[in-house]
Chains A and B, each alone.
Chain A
Amino acid sequence: MYSPTVLDHFQSPRNVGDIPEADGIGEAGNPISGNQMKLYLKIDDKAITDAKFRTFGCAASIATSSMLTEWLMGKTVEEALTIDNKTIADELGGLPPTKMHCSAMAADGVKAAMADYEKRQVGR
């Protein structure tokens, strides 16, 4: 059902947790009845220097969150915003068709975190 990369990221997720002084925080998923992800980003000079996550959800949604944080590391804000619902699924060696919404949640999380980052920049 799942690729070895998915199972690896599910079993040993990277970058679990939060960033106390995050520059952008994004939430995605369905807070009432479904998968939920919180993404924390540290951004220095328009480049992502740290990414952490917490996720409630199935194995695929935990694996996509984990892979997402690895993918984001070192990317510029512009590069990160090129993410779409297939980006992380491809990085994981594919997801079952019924699990593609988990990859979409990862993309939504990035967009939400970036919107939060931009808002904080304006406030400075």
Chain B
Amino acid sequence: MRRIYLDHNATTPVRTEVLEAMWPFFQERFGNASSIHVFGQDARAPMEEARAQVAGLINARPGEIYFTSGGTESDNLAIKGIAYANRDRGNHIITTAIEHSAVLSSGAFLETQGFKVTYLSVDAYGLVDPNEVEQAITERTILISMMHANNEIGTIQPIKKIGAIAQQHEVYFHTDTVQSAGKLPIDVEAMQVDLLSLSAHKIYGPKGVGAIYIRKGVEIEPTAHGGHHENNVRSGTENTTGIIGLGKAAELAAQDREGEYRHLIELRDTLEKRIVDEVEDVQINGHPTKRLPGTLNVSFYGAEGESLLMSLDMKGIAVSTGSACTSGSIEPSHVLLALGLDPHTALGSVRFSFGRDNTIADVDEVMAHLPGIVSRLREMSAVMEHE
């Protein structure tokens, strides 16, 4: 069976060029980048090149990039790091209801530590209103954390406007760009971002490595205390192979971004149109235009998400669903509920996320199976009216 991978927002395969760049650093050039001898320096130099490559992707300076284990760690470090370093200034953080769980859970943790967190609502497309951000700011506000693009629905927030508001009110601004880095243009200067999270494995790099951008002059309290690596921001022997993979992936993403954007949007729009034309009672979730190019989130009323996912998987097509049927009940995605979807519609949602290796033939293959799967599940559904 030909297998089709349409879950690139979850993770991506490592590109061959990335793997080739990483390869020597497992064995031949294995040195600890903190060592002064030749082995150490032989690992240090390419790591610094990777720092410049990552900086180039977001228009930062290499000295403002620190390597981490990925998006979750970067989010934790940004939010807790700013919170603990600014306790004397305030205790209020503003974020949104549709953030990744790394941000929401960091916020929930800080609430147990005496911080107050405002979770802003979004409109039916998933957009935050900049006026609401401004209104939420108090004298005690120290940080705004808002994702650039949402992982489930792809909606792109007006980051530049939020950055200007944060700057005007002298509040730090963090953005999670795990889904957008390498896919959308990012400029930390134009966007007035103080802290930014990104991850390698969403852009054809290896898992377990990412980066945080921290604007020069912005102080954070580290979460890992140790041997002064990464300028004391993130201690722990550097993951040289991973970092070099991240650097190469960032370089390639910047090079290929425009062509890939067109490729992804063509595939996504074709699938979207065919689903709307060929399947009844569907709803596209997310913003019609302000959306990640490869992301398509669809609700199929009356069919449950995991059943849709499993049925497609049996036909060799890998997608994802925001609903999680785990201990006790099925839980609709918090993102879809925040858009105002009723729980049943939210439960019947599937995310298709395209990547560079997908082709139009993959769209045809999806549409060869999807309408039949949906009607089969609806036929046996207890929430549909049957004749």
- Chain A residues packing against B (C-beta within 8 Å): 7, 10-11, 13, 16, 18, 27, 29-30, 32-38, 53-62, 97-99, 101-102
Contact = CB atoms under 8 A, between A and B. Distances in A.
Nearest to B381: A56
B325 A33 contact: no
B328 interface: yes
Given A33-B332, A57-B307, A102-B325, 15 more contacts: A7-B314, A33-B343, A34-B329, A35-B329, A38-B382, A55-B382, A56-B381, A58-B325, A59-B307, A59-B310, A97-B327, A98-B326, A99-B325, A101-B328, A101-B329
Contacts of A102: 325
Given A10-B310, A36-B382, A57 B304 contact: yes
Contact of B380 (A27, A33, A62, A101): A62
Contacts of B381: 54-56
B386 A18 contact: yes
A36 B384 CA distance: 11
B314 A62 contact: no
16 contacts: A34-B329, A36-B383, A54-B380, A54-B386, A55-B380, A56-B382, A56-B384, A57-B330, A58-B306, A58-B307, A58-B325, A59-B307, A61-B325, A101-B328, A101-B329, A102-B325
A33 B379 contact: no
Contact of B330 (A27, A37, A38, A58): A58
Interface in B306-345: 306-307, 310-311, 314, 325-330, 332, 343-344
Contacts, number: 75
Interface in B347-387: 347, 379-384, 386
Interface residues of B, number: 25
B347 A33 contact: yes
B382 A37 contact: yes
Contacts of A33: 329-330, 332, 343-344, 347
Contacts of A59: 306-307, 310
B302 interface: yes
Given A58-B304, A59-B306, A35 B330 contact: yes
Nearest to A16: B380
Contacts of A36: 382-383
Pairs A-B, 5 closest by C-beta atoms: A33-B343, A58-B306, A58-B325, A36-B382, A59-B310
Nearest to A37: B382
A33 B81 CA distance: 37
B329 A13 contact: no
A69 B364 CA distance: 36
A56 B302 contact: yes
Contact of B325 (A13, A54, A60): A60
A99 B328 CA distance: 8
Nearest to B314: A11
A34 B307 contact: no
A37 B381 CA distance: 8
A98 B327 contact: yes
A26 B90 CA distance: 56
Interface in B274-319: 302-304, 306-307, 310-311, 314
Contacts of B386: 18, 54
Nearest to A1: B310
Given A58-B330, A59-B310, A35 B325 contact: yes
Nearest to B343: A33
Greatest chain B CB density within 10 A among A29, A58, A97 is at: A58
Nearest to A104: B328
B342 to A, nearest CB: 9
Contacts of B330: 33-35, 57-58
Nearest to A32: B343
A97 B383 CA distance: 26
A27 B133 CA distance: 45
Given A33-B343, A38-B382, A55-B380, A101 B327 contact: yes
Contacts of A55: 380-382
Contacts of A32: 343
Contacts of A101: 327-329
Contacts of B310: 10, 58-59
B320 to A, nearest CB: 14
Nearest to A98: B326
A18 to B, nearest CB: 7
Given A34-B330, A58-B304, A58-B307, A13 B347 contact: no
Contacts of B303: 56
